[in-house]
Structure 1
């Protein structure tokens, strides 16, 4: 059996009761933290809280050499953990398909997603979000500024009057649990990049979703680029037109000046 468990958004307390039970009942527990991270905890604390040892795999250990996970799951009860909700990344879907191809039974225990948290914290209606996109660091896509694909996604959503959730890049130099080697794109950096193709455009920053002190700030992208939003992780939302209720929430909770 191979069970995929989403650990939630922030720290060792973010996992659901069902996810905790699956982890504690497992013979072996694997995890990856290169697609997203629990920035409110570390590996030692997570293991102590869950009462288990977690075998962390890097990108190559999931995408190119998943054999240790699959071989273990053929004869043992194995859990594979990720931050957020599992199956959001195609990497995890591929691992599940490989398991099914070998006759390994799989199941999913969901965790909270950044997408649903962003809608909840901003007051922007969930069914008005269009296609999401990820804004990479400049050197990650071999060019300057914003990739054409990101611009096209935002433009297409705005043309259909939909909001765009922009995930911000995480550069992981060391695949293991070492904060000092990670670089997280900040919302101010993202706003600076996006203000070029989208000047005088409203943006909404969501920082530390799932933590005890999340932050939501709404302003023009140009103004957001000049602000700081504290510790990671950050998200950025580019809204379409606002329903009156959405506007009221952004004004009251995010400091938006919609005049």
Structure 2
């Protein structure tokens, strides 16, 4: 059995009770942190909280050499966990399909996702979000500025009156972790749109002190939003309740809200 477990958004307590049980019942537990991570806890905290040992795998250890995970699932109960939900944005469908090819039973224990938190914290209606996108560091895509695919996604959503959730890049090396911040993302996007385009930074969703701050892109580029992780939302056309929510909950200036 291979059980995919979402750890939730913030710390070792963000996991569901079902997820906790799956970790404690597993013979071996694997995890990765290259797609996302818990900023309120490290894997030592998770191990201590659940009295388990975790085999932390690098990207190549999951995507190119999944055999240790599959072998463990074939001979016993293995759990594979990530921050958020293992199949939403931090998708590991390929690993699940490889397990099925070997006749290994799988199941999913869902965790709270960043997409759900972005909707909940901003007050934007979840069914009015279009396609999400990820804004990479310039060094990650070998070019300058914002990739055309990101611009096209946001513009296509805005043309349809839909909101865009922009995930911000994470770089994990053996000795360093870099997280794109909301102000960095706003500065990059501000070069492609006129100053009147509003946006909302969501920082540390799931934590006791999340930050939700809306303004024009160029104004957000001049602010700081504290510790990671950050997301950016570019609103489309606003329902009047969504407008009021952004003004009240995200401190979006009313005159900027009216430009959405």
TM bin, normalised by shorter chain, reads over 0.9
* Match 1:257 to one of 239, 253, 260: 253
Cα distance in 2 for partners of 1:142, 1:24 equals 42
Residues of 2 paired with 1:184 and 1:82: CA distance? 17
Aligned pairs for 1:140-179 within 5 A: 140-174=140-174
CA distance in structure 2 between the partners assigned to 1:44 and 1:86 by the alignment = 20
Spell out, residue by residue over 1:230-249, the C-alpha distance to the aligned partner (whole angstroms, 9 max, x if none): 00000000000111101111
Alpha-carbon separation, structure 1, partners of 2:79 and 2:147: 36
- TM-score of the aligned structures, taking structure 1 as reference length: 0.96
Separation in 1, partners of 2:42, 2:245: 34
Q: Does the residue aligned with 1:15 lie in a helix, a strand or coil?
A: coil
Deviation of 1:254 after TM superposition, in Å, equals 1.0
Q: Distance in 2 between matches of 1:79 and 1:118?
A: 27
Asked if the contact 2:36/2:90 (under 8 Å) is kept, the reply is no
Gaps of 5+ in 2: 256-260
SS at structure 1 position matched to 2:161: coil
Tell me, yes or no, if the aligned pair for 2:35 and 2:90 is still in contact at 8 Å.
Answer: no
CA contact (8 A) 1:133 1:150 kept: yes
Asked whether the equivalents of residues 62 and 91 of structure 1 are also in contact (C-alpha less than 8 Å), the reply is no
The residue aligned with 1:16 is 16
State the alpha-carbon separation in 2 of the partners of residues 90 and 40 from structure 1.
18
Aligned to 1:48: 48
- What's the counterpart of residue 118 of structure 1? 118
Whether 1:210 and 2:206 are equivalent positions in the alignment is yes
Deviation digits for residues 197-240 of structure 1 (CA, Å, limit 9, x no counterpart): 12221000000000000010000000000000000000000000
SS in 1 for 2:232: strand
CA contact (8 A) 2:2 2:77 kept: yes
Cα RMSD for the two superposed structures: 0.9
1:88 CA displacement: 2.2
Cα displacement string for residues 38-62 of structure 1 (whole angstroms, at most 9, x for unaligned residues): 0111121110001100100000100
Preserved contact between residue 165 and residue 235 of structure 1 (Cα < 8 Å): yes
Give secondary structure in 2 for the equivalent of 1:3. Answer: strand
Kept in 2: contact 1:187–1:229 (CA 8 A): yes
Question: What SS class does the counterpart of residue 24 from structure 1 fall into?
Answer: helix
What does residue 194 of structure 2 align with? 199
Counterpart among 231, 240, 245 of residue 244 in structure 1 = 240
CA distance in 2, matches of 1:30, 1:153: 34
Q: How many residues align?
A: 254
Deviation of 1:87 (Å): 1.2
Distance 2:46 2:91 in 1: 23
TM-score in terms of structure 2 length: 0.96
- Give the distance between the partners of 2:219 and 2:19, measured in 1 at CA: 40
Q: Stretches of 4+ moved more than 4 A in 1?
A: none
Sort the Cα spacing of 1:113 and 1:211 in 2 relative to 1 into closer, same or farther, 3 A.
Answer: same
